[in-house]
Structure 1
Amino acid sequence: MHFELNSDGFMSVKKFELMLKSNEVGFFDSEEFEQIVEHYLETGKMIMARKAVQLGLSQHPSSVEIRLLQAEILVFDNEFEQAHELLNTLYELQPHNSEIYIQKANIFSKCDDHEKAIELLNQALKLTEDQADVYNLIGMEYLFIEDYNFAKDNFIKCLELDETDYSALYNIIYCFDFLKQNKEAITFLNKFLNSNPYSEVAWHQIGKQYFDLKMYDKALAAFDFAIISDELFVGAYLEKGKVLEKLGKYNEAIENYQITLELDDPTSFAYLRLGKCYQKLGAFDLAVKFYKKTVKEDPLLDKGWIALVDFYTKQLNYQKALSYIEKATEIDSENALYWIRYAKLNKKLNFFEEAEYGYRKAIDLGNYELETWLQRSDILLYLGEIDGQISNLEHGLEFYPDDAELEYRLAGAYFKQHNITKGRFHLQNAFKNDPEFLIIIEELYPEILQLEEVKHIIT
């Protein structure tokens, strides 16, 4: 159910709230109560919605519409059994009321029985005059079970009935994106634009599709049309800026990002892109200025901190870069990307224990890149922690079982521990995978090249 809160409805809400404050009971007709309850449901004021239903039923006990709103509140409160009983009672009174099927579907949806919910919504579809909303609900149920084709079909039917329903349009594009159907999405949007030539949302979405396909000129034209349709559309300026960056037109990109700062509250994304553009133009002071604004605007945006750190790293100012990555880890210690940079910078500064700690933290947080295992291994070898090095390499081999670089290092570590059997095993594996990486033994373990066992295997 949905009611437009017209001036009379607004007055009903005010009158109702005044009545509660004065502790005097006033009379409202059933339609007024429906508007009042619906208003509170839409604004999330559930306590007020319950009060309005309670008073509404005391004045209009036979009102099916108010009792349906009561069922909706029961579903919201997860009182599914009571809601079922109430809806079954209402079904006896009005078996052709589509809202009963919709509310029952809502219960099954909340209980993760989405197929049953779809079945009920299809029944509601035959009874309702507002088919667009029901198609939208069916589309959402198909999204829950990840059937993106059927979800897309129902959202399209919703949009065909109500071309102003942009939530359905966004959901359609979401399905196309998930199915990796960029070209199909473009065909659909072009068809939609034929009947809605000034839809800024459609132009914006078709521009994003062209961007994903690297068709930057067409993307740029689409975002221009979105801006013509709505010159205050911040999203179109942001996307246009991204396209201009790809085309190497950094000054024009800056102009578009600056417009977004004038039209709306500044965003960390706009600040970040401005910093990137200025860095490309060699305006390093301005780049740093906007990177700092990025992390101030959103301290949890890792791209802002990484941009600052990478900037100073490229400038070979490792100490400055390290100071920023340390600030980043203080704010978010669970970000593996931070710890990788922390480790690399400490290694460049010859702080090997700190570098090892950084790589260890990154691994603990799920960074299993080959380079992480290799770098940590070499640092542990330098620190003389051979047991730790072996443990690290064995763990790395679980992810990269055929990697020669790991095998050579592990062979060298076992030979250093005088574990000839395991050393021979891993050295033979390493040779089998890639004999050219023998240089690892020569660089990291030159002393073991004198061992007869090693000479024999090499020969």
Structure 2
Amino acid sequence: MMKKIVIVSIICLYSVLSLSEDKGFAFTPYMRGVICNQIQAYQAAVNILKEVLADEPNNDKAYYQIGVSYFKLNQQDKAISAFEKSIEINPKNLAAYFDAGVVYFERKHYEKALKLYQRANKAMPNQDFYHNIGITQEMLGKSVKAIEAYQKSIEIKPKLDSYYRMGAIYSKLKQHQKALDAYQQATNINNFIPEIYFRIGYTYEIMKKHKKAIDSYKRAINLDPKKLINYKELGISYYNLKQYNKALSAFQKVLKIKPNDHHGYHNTGLAYYKLKQYQKAIDAYQEAIKIKADSRGAYYNIGNIYAILKQYNKSTNAYQMAININNKNIDAYVRMALNYLNLKQYKKAIGVFQQAIIVKPDNYKLYYSLGHTYNELKQYKKATKTYKQAIKIDPNQGGAYINLFELLLIQDQVFGQKLSNTFKKKFSSDKDRIMSFDVFNIFKKIDMHGTLKQTWQQNFRSKHKNAKFKDWVWGDIEDWINNKTKSRMALQSALKFFKTFNEFE
């Protein structure tokens, strides 16, 4: 009910009122027209009311009634003309304003509908006029004015739909607490409408108040146990709380209600994945694919599971299916390339990264990963060029800088004052990266000068007190040192210092 736009219309209601105003209930031609409308004999009503208007050209009620007839016959232009003529004769005929507004609204002539409601409301302020003004302002994209109109409607008399629609607008404006307040007011009027509790739950979910969201979804389910969306969002709330068994139970109820629900199987797969029941997760995703063949998310997640299981070929096939469906799925390219790296198939990994770069040439992650792959193959020049491109794309990512400095070191190339200064400025508060830069700089200076002052180790310890080398791989630097002649001993001494640095901290 709440999903449909409700425009207050009193078409035919006025017909009933008209009878009571005719003293003595004489069976006049006008009354015959009214009765024809009531029994849905609209064309007969038109024929009779035309005769009435021929004799009584200023009969605003007859114009209104024939407007109703035309409206029901889907002759909207004639209906509008009749309603406006009724208003012209009797500016206080509220029913004509209402129903002319309804016709304009249905034809999406929102500005005209709004003007009619505003004219009527100016003459006689009315709760329903304000409500209709609010809905029309929504259609015009004027959210603040819509809220103002709903508030005016509520001031006259609290109305559930006005509160509900205010809540929806506040949600759209991301004013979530105000949305909650409006929805709560709606429940004060009627606390048996499940969709309102769903909206409350969804708002709590957006606010990351998952427990409160769960309470609201449960209330919605109690009121409407067959509504699929309530179970789906309940499952998502449990999932966000890492209560994966409860999430799984909710998703399975979705499938009980709708056995061919693609999202139900997909979400079930997610829950099984988190529970490390990998085969059941794969089975769920495959069911999702049977229902919706272009389920790129399901293929991607299957690829992730096979990668965890180190079944890299199956994983690669799944990622390829995800890419076939959406060739802009950059994560699938990256994951596929990682599979090839795990299989030591570096050239294939490079091919995948290059293919992805064609799709997304401004993606830092792709260039960074490609640079790492070239590095693994000891193709240092290509790796250097690739890391420089990664930095150009996103100069705020420290990883590419660190790898680039190491490559420049082992290729006996200068760091460059501009690159060094940019790095130190951007990452001055990143202790780990600054320490890494200092290591490469010390090696560079020793190589250039043959040695350093004896105090350099003490200064390094003082500057990087409480710091640790984390997951350092020294192989490339060791190879570089072993190829040196004049500075080898000093470099080896420095290397030993760095390798044992953690032991003294």
Do both share a fold (TM > 0.5)? yes
Deviations 1:307-343 (A, max 9, x none): 2111111111111111111111111123222222122
- Does structure 1 retain, via aligned residues, the 8 Å contact 2:203–2:213? no
Distance 1:34 1:142, change over 3 A: farther
Paired with 2:276 and 2:335, the residues of 1 have a C-alpha distance of 19
Structure 1 residue 196: Cα displacement: 2.6
Deviations 1:72-99 (A, max 9, x none): 98997xx8xx997665434224521134
Q: Secondary structure at the match of 1:342?
A: helix
1:118 and 2:118 are equivalent in the alignment? no
Q: Secondary structure at the match of 1:92?
A: helix
- Does structure 2 retain, via aligned residues, the 8 Å contact 1:210–1:219? yes
Q: 2:97 aligns with which of 46, 64, 68?
A: 64
Structure 1 residue 240: Cα displacement: 1.0
1:46-57 correspondence runs (5 A) = 57=80
Query: Which residue does the alignment assign to 1:386?
Result: 415
RMSD of aligned Cα (Å): 4.5
Query: Which residue does the alignment assign to 1:25?
Result: none
Q: Which amino acid aligns with 2:427?
A: L
- Does structure 1 retain, via aligned residues, the 8 Å contact 2:363–2:393? yes
Paired with 2:108 and 2:214, the residues of 1 have a C-alpha distance of 42
Query: Which residue does the alignment assign to 1:290?
Result: 318
Distance 1:164 1:436, change over 3 A: closer
- Does structure 2 retain, via aligned residues, the 8 Å contact 1:278–1:287? yes
Q: Secondary structure at the match of 1:300?
A: coil
Q: 2:119 aligns with which of 89, 93, 115?
A: 89
Structure 1 residue 293: Cα displacement: 0.7
1:397 and 2:427 are equivalent in the alignment? yes
1:215 and 2:243 are equivalent in the alignment? yes
Structure whose CA Rg is larger: 2
Paired with 2:442 and 2:312, the residues of 1 have a C-alpha distance of 47
- Does structure 2 retain, via aligned residues, the 8 Å contact 1:68–1:99? no
1:102 and 2:134 are equivalent in the alignment? yes
Paired with 2:146 and 2:437, the residues of 1 have a C-alpha distance of 53
Q: 1:314 aligns with which of 342, 347, 371?
A: 342
- Does structure 2 retain, via aligned residues, the 8 Å contact 1:408–1:437? no
Distance 1:347 1:156, change over 3 A: farther
1:238-253 correspondence runs (5 A) = 238-253=266-281
- Does structure 2 retain, via aligned residues, the 8 Å contact 1:91–1:100? no
Gaps of 5+ in 1: 5-11, 13-27, 38-51, 419-423
Q: 1:433 aligns with which of 439, 464, 479?
A: 464
Q: Percent identity?
A: 17
Aligned length: 401
Paired with 1:217 and 1:171, the residues of 2 have a C-alpha distance of 24
Distance 1:321 1:138, change over 3 A: same
Q: Which amino acid aligns with 2:134?
A: I
Query: Which residue does the alignment assign to 1:135?
Result: 163
Q: Comparing 396-405 with 225-234, which one deviates more in the overlay?
A: 396-405
Paired with 2:461 and 2:68, the residues of 1 have a C-alpha distance of 82
Q: Secondary structure at the match of 1:386?
A: coil
Q: Which amino acid aligns with 2:248?
A: L
Distance 1:261 1:407, change over 3 A: same
Q: Which amino acid aligns with 1:386?
A: F
Query: Which residue does the alignment assign to 1:15?
Result: none
Q: Which amino acid aligns with 2:363?
A: N
Paired with 2:391 and 2:103, the residues of 1 have a C-alpha distance of 52
Q: Which amino acid aligns with 1:140?
A: A
Distance 1:67 1:433, change over 3 A: same
1:362 and 2:390 are equivalent in the alignment? yes
Q: Which amino acid aligns with 1:64?
A: Y
1:256 and 2:254 are equivalent in the alignment? no
Taking structure 2 as the reference length, the TM-score comes to 0.65
- Does structure 1 retain, via aligned residues, the 8 Å contact 2:194–2:220? no
Gaps of 5+ in 2: 9-41, 43-65, 88-95, 450-454, 499-505
